[in-house]
Structure 1
């Protein structure tokens, strides 16, 4: 990651030092088609053509003319693209004339215009004839209004005179300079002969803007950076100016080849509307460009836009008229000018600013004192109307309320609570502003704090939710007796638990229970202290204590609400799963799910989540994915952004079980990003575990080992339902590194505890056979027998789950060498990798008794591994086949493969190169790839030859910078 960030900084530095960046041409395909057609026509006919382009400044004329020159050169044209410098002297890209001496300049200045025109025309004509003798010619003239009039007259004369020569004349004009003498001369020339007029250059569409920004930065713009360019109207020069300003003023960061704003994502919606400084987080280059556009408007239009911006991102014209105390007719001129400038749009009933950042930039031009007064005027206007919206008034009152204004605070609080179900982030923003005016410790203050905490929690701002709750609790202790403050304790505990601090959450829950008792009436939507207690106990490793509380909840009828009962049932199901009672676990889960509770009742582990997790482990993968889809739909409909990583964590393991490693990794990486964005780390171990397991399956042991470090740092400091996964993948990596005894020691907490061993064997259908195989490799037959007998006990009460019974049969066959036990096992696993593993083990057991059947089984396993991308396993089976006298090619012919460079390496050579670059010796690489050290040496020599290098140091440099 650090290397990529450094690359990003280098890109920005390169852009700063390169004022002549030439990006690709976007959105001008029609123009280029017509220009190329004209060039070909001139070349074929030998006749000249005049082509004119009239388009405003900044629309991309110059860039189009540069591309025209490139196309012309490709077609064999000579190109003349400049004629005069700032002193009116003749110059050109093809050196039409040498630089004049001082005497020449003095003589020329004193000569009559007619003589100068004659000499200049003759000089240019001679130079053009010199080019035409060798082929067709393109003459390009940009911004004709800037050209010395005498030079333009000379060119106009030559356009008329040289009609029989293969010359394409392309002149570019600006419409705002239509009445200047130069452009009038060009238009007269166009009327005197057949002329091709190119269409005016329209603003770039959104995709073209994104492409242009990406080319300028050599990095993909994120949504905010892309949107800033789009919001300015798509004028190419404006986009270039914006990007250059963003770079020069250090407004960007580039990470993983993606450009984002250095100050973080932009806010939007109500969160922007209630911000004390609405333009505070907009980049200064963007604000500057908007302000420049505003400055070009008439003063009356500027005033109208400023008042309209105070009303909001959209506004009714009648409201604007009332605020300005003007008639609707008086608004026609300023509104039309704003529309023409691209600052406003309109619909059936309202006008609206073209986009939110432009609206925020305009609001920011209103002095703070006047902005407060205008908001007060707008709030009074709304509240004075019959049926006026208090929600709309609240958005203005946050900007002008006075401390202790109970009416304003009450209005703001009601609006925030109304927003909470559908827009928690906006509700939090509004409630936080209301807190600034409310009297501390009073009911309105506490209710605003509760709304803000819930909104921040659901939106994924967990640390801010904790800070708000703790701050208000610190100054409101004396309000405990009125009952208003208790929900703040429970929501604080919820936020702490989601943040990963289960111990502190436990203390908060105990405080809340001590103050009000566990059966006190709950406010609507408030988590029950008992529910929180269940979650805290299950996440702090106090499983037995949690189970006792859960059993008490279940057996005490009529005491606890449904969400608390569902949480208790969920915890009991997890306890039964740990004991290996799979069918009982699912029955209990289904009882919890039957209560039909909203997902937001469960902030840490709900029955739907647990069901998807368990279904994946018994390889009911279609059911698991359907459950994940339900969870995703519920999270979206309940606007619960804080849980965004949850369905990705669940689906990643489903895809892994199906053998789709790429999708599993993509979901895991997306889940990690989502988790970090919302500061909710509970599922990060689950997500990093997928990445480690996928790397291990591909045989990328160094990557898997690196991933273990990330997994360890991501693990929370308390027990989780999936904590066994962390132990299992760690042990599997150690075993793959030929450290079988160390692998068993990693699993020792489960192996030595009969109550924990079922958890290990149920983590993955292939875990049972893997554990037996590893124990036998470590010469620990006692552990192998214990695992096989435990698997048999679990399968005896799990007849409805074939993957579990297949795992038990597989482990028994490995322990006893019973070939019959393995027959048909593969087809019952429901897991392609586990099935391939069973088939491989069958081949190993058969090799002494039935060589042909052993080869057939191993070939089947190898093909399955290859289809799954399990390169390490494929290599192992290939080695087994070689021992049986069967050799299989494991490279693919790639037609037209480069002969040198990284892309010339074969798949095996690339794998060797990456392992050597990580510091492995030839012998270690040989062990990884199941080949001999001599073979590694051979591949290494080929790699050095293809990359033209001499050492491992050079190889590491290329491997990590390519």
Structure 2
């Protein structure tokens, strides 16, 4: 036995460490500390001793294997000292007078032989000796190892021992403590429970897919030890409780609700996988009968509960709860937060509540509701959650309580309001006003959440149920139906419902509802500019009968009308007044003037102000909990970032916005998001992607809601046509538009750089008449808007190109406020100089074109850079296709400077949002960079990144 153990210790174990199948998760701090000590043992050189003490299943062995693999990569000879199983190791627990000399001799012999083996390894380099489960190691052998540590104190030997925490006071633990004191050892542990990304990483490795939120929540609920997580994931996979779709692992039973939505569900255990239920019931049975009963009553109170409420429910003094609650705390089933106890995770709470028989659950809910309603603090929302489980159908008082609670929840938690109101509908009689009110609240909540199809379906169903009810009672429900239709893009249907609602309205709208007049203005703005302008003028000419919100909407309409007319000052004044008048976003909905202000400021390239307006809009949406509007600030921000020349950040926000649009079923800003992707693809030179993006843009802006985006679609269509089929085809496509002064004006206002592009393209196509028309239109816009430098620069740029006057381009670089337009000015300067007759023009042209190419390269505008490169070649100058040092395809040196900065910040432990704040970009942009970093470094997680970051 001794010889076999000695041979295990002396043999290199590198093959066991080089084929690790899964990444180590959640132990970056421990690995980093051990690696730092390993470097120190080589640099000094001297022996280093580390003892890792932790409980069962916490991942000690996996951590040792990671360290052994790291040591092997660093040139260490790795000696695996894994102990044999307890039943196979001869236990020597005490040295007594009769066998003391024999054991001393045995330990000395073992130490001598092991020292000789290590000496052989040390001749080739440093050595790592790793001893796992040191509590099971033969005690004599442990004494022998301690002797070798002392003898090789000045050699680069790194000693790593792992010991079970429950055996820290054993004789073996005593030897390790003595060793630690004698050699200034680092004592690590215990290993903390895993959470968040570490749990998701383990589950993802085992499932070979990204775990969904519910899967991660279940894994976090089992205590956070790697072993428990592994056991649960293997069980749910084996029993078919997870389904992998699009490389995401989700529960087969469907998504689990959370918060109030889960509290009102009639069957709390239904979504839980069977293996998880079995595991939690087993953990519950480990408690005393008294602790189980207390915990079951606590579960009826909710995911969190106050000890005073629990004591009242049980009819006991708080002191009597001390033992049972301490038992539950020690078992990790609950924790404490502020003045309440909280179940460890929501699935734990669900599992415990599911053990309460249904009939008793109903009786306990009744008891809890009575207790809460009698509370002087008036905890009506909490009481309503219990009432839905026990209220008698037709009880007006109880149903009224549920209705009032759902209405109160609407502003702060639409999801809770929706769940509570929907459950209330099952109890309220269909012929009651409570039923209509609950249907209205549920519809409003679904609209806020972005479940627009569900909102429309519910509202239409309830309106059929209440077809004979007085229209005044159903008016609020109709206004929310119109809102859902409008946000979903069904503007014609929204217009019709709004008109019907307005006709049936006898009294002013309640403050919490969208008013029919407001909805009518919103719906009309998508159909007919002239009609909506007439309605807006009537509102503003007689403001007395109208609310500030309606006047703000009318001013918003007027601002856009002034913009289309080219009256930018008037447009800005109108939108600023609208911003001053605007009320809560719950009433403004799809026409918040803040959005219009950000949009207008972007068009005139006052980009810092535009970003401020977009951020203000985002904060308003977040504060109102209007998830349905989440795509809007992303669309505004993506457009601004594109104008600033940050293609990567703009694309990241645009893609995030499209995902948000799909989640929220709100496509109104999809055209703007897709336009960003089309322009970005064009600038990067990806014509196929630009063409596909244009097709998708045209599909998502059908005739009935194309009005706000028609100019944008024409601009992009012309750009793509020019790239695909040449300038002649582009001019043919634009001829009708450019020949119409009104349409031409709107086209040039959509993007100031379109003036120069249109003139340049028309001249290349031999359509000088169109070029002259564009220049005249641009000069008319500039004449009426002298305070907007971008518009003035655009007109001067167009005139200089038309006249071939290079001097006319002087000074425009400082005026545009758009780096891509500035690069175009430089390119046009070089082009005009190239075509000039002066002797010095050629060298100056080359210098300007070089500068233009560098500017386009800086922006990532490869398409434009390639065009400039071709012009340089015609002048006899050849340039490489890049102006930076070539990077390898993988490894740390393959990262761009931005990617390297993101990697360093993430390696320091910052979240995506914190990195975004540090670098002045969005979290979506950080996520984009991280995906590139993982690919280039061939890693899978933040833990891997932190481990290898220099």
Deviation larger for 778-787 or 333-342: 778-787
1:66 shift after superposition: 2.7
Hey, what's the Cα distance between the residues in 2 that align with 1:792 and 1:168? Answer: 78
1:815 aligned counterpart, secondary structure: helix
Distance 2:177 2:584 in 1: 74
Confirm whether residue 790 of structure 1 aligns to residue 781 of structure 2. no
What 5-or-longer segments of structure 2 have no aligned partner?
1-18, 91-98, 897-950
SS in 2 for 1:478: coil
**Preserved CA contact (<8 Å) 2:683 2:863:** yes
1:45-194 matches, within 5 Å, as 54-67=53-66, 69-70=68-69, 76-77=76-77, 79-82=79-82, 84=84, 88=88, 131-132=117-118, 134-135=120-121, 142-143=132-133, 152=138, 155=141, 172-176=162-166, 184=170, 186=172
State the alpha-carbon separation in 1 of the partners of residues 105 and 171 from structure 2. Answer: 20
Aligned partner of 1:28 in structure 2 is 30
Distance 2:496 2:188 in 1: 72
SS of the residue 2:591 aligns to: coil
Q: 1:458 to 1:778 in 2, by over 3 A?
A: same
Alignment CA distance shift 1:160-1:89 (3 Å): closer
- Please list the CA deviations of residues 858-893 of structure 1 after superposition, one character each: whole Å capped at 9, or x if unmatched: 344333323322222222223223333444455346
Offset at 1:407?
1.5
Q: Using the alignment, how far apart are the partners of 1:42 and 1:616 within structure 2?
A: 60
SS at match of 2:706: coil
Tell me, what secondary structure is at the counterpart of 1:79? strand
Change (3 A) 1:557 1:849: same
Alignment of 1:204-283 (within 5 A): 204=193, 206=195, 209=198, 212-213=201-202, 216=205, 229-245=219-235, 248=238, 267-282=257-272
1:333 aligns with 323
Measure how far apart 1:412 and its partner are. 0.9
1:427 Cα offset (Å): 1.8
Q: CA RMSD in A?
A: 4.1
1:834 matched to which residue of 2?
821
Aligned residue for 2:258, secondary structure, equals coil
| 1:921-936 to 2 correspondences below 5 Å | none
Per the alignment, do residues 765 and 380 of structure 1 end up closer, same or farther by CA in structure 2, a change over 3 Å counting? same
Q: How far has the Cα of 1:682 moved from its partner?
A: 0.8
CA contact (8 A) 2:487 2:590 kept: yes
Given that 1:306 and 1:365 are in contact with CA atoms closer than 8 Å, whether structure 2 keeps it comes out as: yes
**Equivalent-residue separation in structure 2 for 1:824 and 1:31 (angstroms):** 57
> How do 1:358-369 and structure 2 match up within 5 A?
358-369=348-359
Determine whether 1:406 maps to 2:392: no
SS at 2:513's partner residue? coil
How far apart are the structure 2 equivalents of 1:843 and 1:41?
58
How far 1:326 sits from its partner (Å)?
Answer: 3.1
Q: Secondary structure at the match of 2:473?
A: coil
Query: What secondary structure, in the 3-state scheme, does the structure 1 residue paired with 2:468 have?
Result: helix
Q: Deviations over 1:554-600 (max 9, x none)?
A: 33343332222222222232223223333333333334334243333
User: Which segment drifts farther, 696-705 or 430-439?
Assistant: 696-705
- Quick one: which of 882, 885, 888 aligns to 1:891? 882
Q: Give, in angstroms, the shift of residue 694 of structure 1.
A: 1.4
Kindly tell me: are residues 173 and 297 of structure 1, through their superposed partners in 2, closer, same or farther at Cα, counting changes over 3 Å?
Answer: farther
Aligned to 2:495: 506
Question: Does 2:701 align with 1:715?
Answer: yes
Equivalent position of 1:849 in the other structure: 837
Q: Contact between 1:31 and 1:199, CA under 8 Å: does it hold in 2?
A: no
Residue of structure 1 equivalent to 2:869: 878
Aligned-residue offset at 1:203: 1.1
SS in 2 for 1:28: helix
Quote the offset at 1:764 in angstroms: 0.5
Give 1:741's aligned residue. Answer: 728
1:587-606 → structure 2 map (5 Å cutoff): 587-606=573-592
Structure 1 residues not aligned, in runs of 5+? 1-17, 91-112, 907-962
CA distance in 2, matches of 1:50, 1:862: 58
Superposed displacement of residue 752, structure 1: 5.2
Task: Summarize the Cα distance change of 1:741–1:398 in structure 2 as closer, same or farther, 3 Å threshold.
Answer: farther
Q: CA deviation at 1:493?
A: 0.8
Q: Does 1:862 align with 2:853?
A: yes
After the TM superposition, which of the residue ranges 618-627 and 74-83 deviates more from structure 2? 74-83
The answer to whether the Cα contact below 8 Å between 2:758 and 2:774 also exists between their aligned partners in 1 is: yes
CA deviation map 1:468-506 (0-9, x unaligned)? 21121110111124x211111111011111011112222
Deviation at 1:529, TM superposition (A): 2.2
* Structure-2 separation of matches of 1:902 and 1:144: 38
1:523 aligns with 510
Are residue 472 (structure 1) and residue 457 (structure 2) matched?
Answer: no
Match of 2:647 in 1: 661
Q: Which residue of 2 aligns with 1:684?
A: 670
Q: TM-score by structure 2 length?
A: 0.80
Cα displacement (A) at 1:649: 0.9
Match of 1:705 in 2: 691
Mapped to 1, the partners of 2:738 and 2:590 lie a distance apart of 28
Of stretches 466-475 and 293-302 in structure 1, the one that deviates more from structure 2 is 293-302
Deviation of the 1:31 alpha carbon: 7.2
Q: List per-residue Cα deviations over 1:763-808 (Å, max 9, x = no partner).
A: 1011122122222333333332332222233333222222223222
Tell me if the contact between 1:72 and 1:79 (Cα under 8 Å) persists in the aligned partners: no
CA drift at 1:741: 3.3
Aligned equivalent of 1:418: 408
1:768 corresponding residue in structure 2: 755
Whole-Å separation in 2 of the counterparts to 1:156 and 1:876: 74
The aligned length equals 851
Q: Give secondary structure in 1 for the equivalent of 2:666.
A: coil
1:323/1:669 CA distance change after superposition, 3 Å: same
Task: Give the equivalent residue in structure 1 for 2:804.
Answer: 817
Going from structure 1 to structure 2, the CA distance change for 1:544 and 1:199 (only over 3 Å counts) comes to: closer
Whether the aligned pair in 1 keeps the contact of 2:735 and 2:770 (CA below 8 Å) is no
SS state at 2:708 partner: coil
Distance 1:742 1:262 in 2: 53
Using the size of structure 1 for normalisation, the TM-score is 0.79
Distance 2:278 2:852 in 1: 65
Secondary structure of the 1:351 match is strand
1:731 deviates by 1.7
Sort the Cα spacing of 1:209 and 1:757 in 2 relative to 1 into closer, same or farther, 3 A.
same
What is the match of residue 642 of structure 1? 628
Cα 1:177–1:736, aligned 2, differ >3 Å: closer, same or farther?
same
CA separation in 2, counterparts of 1:591 and 1:801? 20
| Structure 1 residue 418 displacement after superposition | 1.4
**Which of 630, 652, 656 is equivalent to 2:638?**
652
Residues 200 and 216 in structure 2, CA contact (< 8 A), matched pair in contact too: no
Partner of 2:914: none
Contact 1:159 1:169 in 2 (8 A): no
Query: What per-residue deviation string (whole Å, max 9, x for no partner) do you get for residues 268-310 of structure 1?
Result: 3323322333454455555554444323222221221111111
Whole-angstrom distance in 2 between the partners of 1:823 and 1:164? 79
Q: Aligned residue for 1:536?
A: 523
Q: Contact 1:210 / 1:221 at 8 angstroms: preserved in 2? A: no
Describe the shift of the 1:691–1:169 C-alpha distance in structure 2 as closer, same or farther (beyond 3 A). closer
TM-superposed deviation, 1:818? 3.9
Q: Which has the higher contact order (CA 8 A, sep 6+)?
A: 2
Residue 438 of structure 1, CA deviation = 0.8
8 Å Cα contact 2:24/2:66 also seen in 1: no
CA–CA separation in structure 2 for the residues paired with 1:192 and 1:828: 75
Task: Work out the CA distance in 2 between the residues paired with 1:584 and 1:30.
Answer: 61
Asked if the contact 1:441/1:472 (under 8 Å) is kept, the reply is no
The answer to whether structure 1 residue 486 and structure 2 residue 475 are counterparts is yes
Deviates more, 1:330-339 or 1:787-796: 787-796
Helix, strand or coil for the counterpart of 1:432?
helix
Conserved? CA contact 1:310–1:375, under 8 Å: yes
Residue 646 (structure 1) shift: 1.0
1:439 is paired with a residue whose SS is coil
1:11-62, Cα deviation, whole Å (9 max, x unpaired) = xxxxxxx9964636544248736985998799968xxx99865432112222
Q: Distance in 2 between matches of 1:728 and 1:194?
A: 74
